[in-house]
Structure 1
Amino acid sequence: MSCRRSEALAFSLVTEINHAMARLVDIWDSIGIMEEQRVERMQTVKKHIDELLHSMIMEEEALKHRIKSAVITFQKQLDTLCLELALEPNKLEEDLTVLQMEKNLRCRVESLQKEKNERLRELSDLKKQDEDLCVTLCATPYYIPSGSVPSRTQLQELQEHVKKLDKEKESRVKVFSGLRDDIRSLMDEMGHEPESSLERESICPDTDIFLLTHDNIKALKLLLSQLEMKKESLISARDKLKERATSLWNRLSCPEPEGEAFREAAMSTLSDDIRRWRGYVEHLEELQMAQLEEVIDKVRQELVVLWDKCMLGPEQREQFNVHLRDDHYTEELLALHDTELLRMKAFYETVQPILEDLDKWKRNLEEELKSRVEVWEKNQGTSFLVQGQRIMDYISTQWEEHRLQKDKEKNERMTKKTETSQFKTPTKRPLGSTYTTPTPNKIKKTANMLAPRTATVSSTSSASSSSGSSSTTFLCVPGRPQLSAKRTKTTEASSSLRVPLQEFNSDKKPAPMSYSAFTSELSKKANTDAFLNSTVKEML
């Protein structure tokens, strides 16, 4: 259709030129222009037409050349963009005119150029964020070759990298903020003034003064740890001063106004509190110097109480007794007593578990006490003494003393039984004798006395065989043993009784008896031995 329109337009153009030339001829005829002049004029017309057409042809040829050049240029640009953007090379459609080819290439180049610009702009923004975060966190930036256009995959990875660094920054900011708050709080609590640049920077309100690096975090953690240790040291120093003040106050029996310091609230900082207690201790120490004799006597009383608590023997106390007997009251003597008192307090703290076990042993505990003492002696490198003896020897001595006391009490009971069980043997009246025994008063018979058994024992000797026979009669209660038999049985039982630690020290080494077992036995034995003889026991 378009071809027909162009052909019609060309035919119309030729027709119009022919009509125009015919018109010119008519005009020339009417004017009377001669043939030579007509030819000249026609040549002029032809020249104008030729020049116009030539000019138009040149312009169109130039246009054609520009289009072909543009096609080549766009094709090169397209190939470059595809390479930069990591895309497949562009393929042109077949049977395209130059103008269509130029248009398609131009549109494709414009599209890819827009894509390239967008990637470069996104890369620029992400790289700026990445660089800032890496500087703050002292991390390695994401590597993309300079001068290259990143691929979509690279941009996505860079974006993930920036997000990861951003989260890491938030985490470290939280850690930094917590550490700096704790450091600031500790310094305020202790009244500590910053001494180093790190301490000054750690409490600086500027949050960007610190790079959020692992080394800086470690430095702040170390500083916090050091400040916590210093706080513990200050608290310990304050408590020691307070304990010292309490000890002095109790020693000196200070009046009530002096005790107001104990009821005062703590100062704003630990340093201020320490200064307050130090001043109070110095004041009490001045008062102590004025009452040396009374103070030393009170320290001696405390020492004796501690010695008793620690169960020290005479040999252990003898080393300090020379100072206890010293009546030359001086500051040096007080210092010696204070040093010994502190030593004994420290010693009591270390052996208190053993002493508690020793107390428990009285109720039930011996093997655990032995193992704990062995551990203590191994750690301290010395023997643990109770009343001047090693503890197991002391326990053995206690068992031995218990056994001797038990034997003594048993012998005393046996002596009392022997004396009580002795009675006079009645004799029969001789045959034919006129001696009449008095009639006993009538008594109420009990169930146990209704049917007594009689036993007759006859004894004959050479003297009685010549003078006559005599017999002795006893009234025996059922089940009543002879006294000699009971004594023999009791003696054998007592001789077979052994103390646990004696057996522990022997070769056989049977299982040791616990304290509760032997106290139970002692109680049971006491209840059993309460019967004076078997007659009473039988009647009960």
Structure 2
Amino acid sequence: MILQAMEYTFIILILMLQLFWEEKIREGKLHLLKYKIKNLRDEIQIWWEKCFLSEDEKQEFDDYKSTDYTNQLYVSHVEELGRLKRKFYRNESLYLLIEKQQDTWKRVVNMDKQLYNPERLFQNRGAQLLQEERERRAAQKDLPQLEELIKKETELYEREHGRPFLLYGQSFSDMILYQKEQHKENQKSLKITKKKCENSAAPSTAPKTITSVSKLKRKLVSNIQSPASAQDKQARVASCEKHASHPVEASRPKRGLKVRQKLIERTVSVPAAQP
């Protein structure tokens, strides 16, 4: 009986260990699956931007926000990524042209923004402003050429496929028109901000009479004397008047005069020597 009970206990322990390790293996697989799906989602975001998809087009992939991490969810992400890559490579040359145009447009916007930077003139090291102006002119020259070339390519695509070529849910012409309108609005706001800064930094144009009045006030305040200083001044004036009415006597003491008179009398009273 004891041996049989020990056997049952041993079997139960083995089953518990088996269940424990099966759960650990299941958790490990789930963690690995989450990691793979997360990497796929990061890559899908990159290709969404490469294909210039709008938010509505992104929302069509419902599994992107799903938290039910299964093999089926993994497969759906793999299929979505493959679809995006096929879409891009079928029109790779056109997408690359649009990407170049967008990079050039961003450079133009940033350089136009720098024109309203008040610290720009203090950062001119090594003819930096001259170099920026050259780059700005070159970008403004290349931009219309790229736009015209892309318009021709998109028209060719629409004739061949019978559907519009959309970027962020709109045609290329509408997209660049919207971007330029936004840029104009931003420039207006930058001009207003710059003008306000210049007005606040400008010197005050107050009338000169205010300065004269302020100087006069300071002068009057400096001339005001305290009662103690007025009494000291009156005492000094009285002392000067007293000395003027009673002339000062000789500076030598009277004792010195008496000694000198005695010496004179002594020399006079001494009789002359007999022959």
Return the TM-score normalized by structure 1: 0.25
Which of 1 and 2 has higher RCO (CA within 8 Å, sep 6+)? 2
Return the TM-score normalized by structure 2: 0.47
Query: Hey, which of these two has a bigger chunk of helix by percent?
Result: 2
